[in-house]
Structure 1
Amino acid sequence: MTERSSSGEAVTDPKLSVTGLEKTFDGITAVDGVSFDVQAGEMTGLIGPNGAGKSTTFNCITNLIEPDAGSVVFDGQDVTGLPTHRVARTGLVRTFQIARELREMTVLENMMVSSKEQTESAIHAVTPGLRENVRTEEEAILEQAWETLEFFDIEHVAHEYAGTLSGGQRKLLELARALMADPDMLLLDEPFAGVNPTLEERLLDRLHALTDQGYTFLIVEHDIDLIMNNCVRVLVMHQGQLLAEGAPETVRDDERVIDAYLGGEAAQ
Structure 2
Amino acid sequence: MTTTAPDSDDAPADESAATTDADADAPLLQVRELEKSFGGITAVDGATFEVERGTITGLIGPNGAGKSTTFDLVTGVQTPDSGQVVFDGTDITGWRPHQAANRGLVRTFQIARELDEMTVLENAMLAPRGQVGENLWRAVLPGVRKEVVRQEEQLREQAWETLEFLELDHLAEEYAGALSGGQRKLLELARVLMIEPEMILLDEPLAGVNPTLEEKLLDRLHSLRDDGYTFLLVEHDMDVIMNHCEPVIVLHQGEVLVEGSPEQVKNDDRVLEAYLGGEV
Q: 2:205 aligns with which of 182, 191, 202?
A: 191
Alpha-carbon offset, residue 119 of structure 1: 2.7
5 Å-filtered alignment, 1:1-268, equals 1=20, 12-120=25-133, 121-261=135-275
The AA in structure 1 aligned to 2:119 is: T
Deviations 1:126-160 (A, max 9, x none): 32221111111111110000000000101111111
TM-score (norm 2): 0.89
Q: Where in structure 1 are there 5+ consecutive unaligned residues? A: 4-9
User: How far apart, in 2, do the equivalents of 1:254 and 1:209 lie?
Assistant: 30
| Alpha-carbon shift at residue 262 of structure 1 (Å) | 6.5
Structure 1: how far apart are the matches of 2:75 and 2:276?
A: 28
**In structure 2, the residue corresponding to 1:101 is in which secondary structure?**
coil
Shift of 1:2: 5.5
The 8 Å contact of residues 249 and 258 in structure 2, kept in 1 or not, is answered as yes
- Cα separation, partners in 2 of 1:256 and 1:104, compared to 1, 3 Å: same
Aligned-partner SS, 1:105: coil
Q: TM-score, normalised by structure 1?
A: 0.93
Cα distance in 1 between the residues matched to 2:224 and 2:278? 34
1:213-242 superposed Cα distances (whole Å, 9 cap, x missing partner): 000000000011111111110000111111
Measure, in 2, the Cα distance between the counterparts of 1:160 and 1:2: 45
Secondary structure of 2:193's counterpart equals helix
The CA distance in 2 between the partners of 1:141 and 1:50, in whole Å, is: 40
Offset of 1:116 from its aligned partner?
2.2
Deviations 1:99-128 (A, max 9, x none): 000011111110111112423111222322
Report deviation, 1:49.
0.4
Q: 1:198 and 1:91, CA in 2 relative to 1: closer, same or farther beyond 3 A?
A: same
Q: Report the 3-state secondary structure (helix = DSSP H, G, I; strand = E; otherwise coil) of the residue aligned with 2:228.
A: coil
Identity of aligned residues (%): 63
| Secondary structure at 1:186 match in 2 | strand
Q: Using a 3 Å threshold, how does the CA distance of structure 1 residues 152 and 179 change in structure 2: closer, same or farther?
A: same
* Distance across 2 between alignment mates of 1:189 and 1:125: 36
Distance 1:64 1:86, change over 3 A: same
Q: Are the aligned partners of 1:41 and 1:214 in contact in 2 as well (CA < 8 Å)?
A: yes
On the 8 A contact 1:87/1:93 being kept in 2, the answer is yes
Q: How many residues align?
A: 260
Moved over 4 A (4+): 262-265
Shift of 1:263: 8.1
Which ranges in structure 2 are unaligned for 5 or more consecutive residues? 1-19
> 2: CA distance between counterparts of 1:231 and 1:57?
18
2:193 aligned partner, one-letter code: L
Is the 1:53–1:240 Cα contact (8 Å) retained in structure 2? yes
C-alpha distance in 2 between matches for 1:85 and 1:157: 28
Contact 2:132–2:147, Cα closer than 8 Å, also in 1: no
Alpha-carbon distance in 2 for matches of 1:184, 1:262? 36
Q: What is the RMSD of the two structures over their aligned residues, measured on CA atoms?
A: 1.8
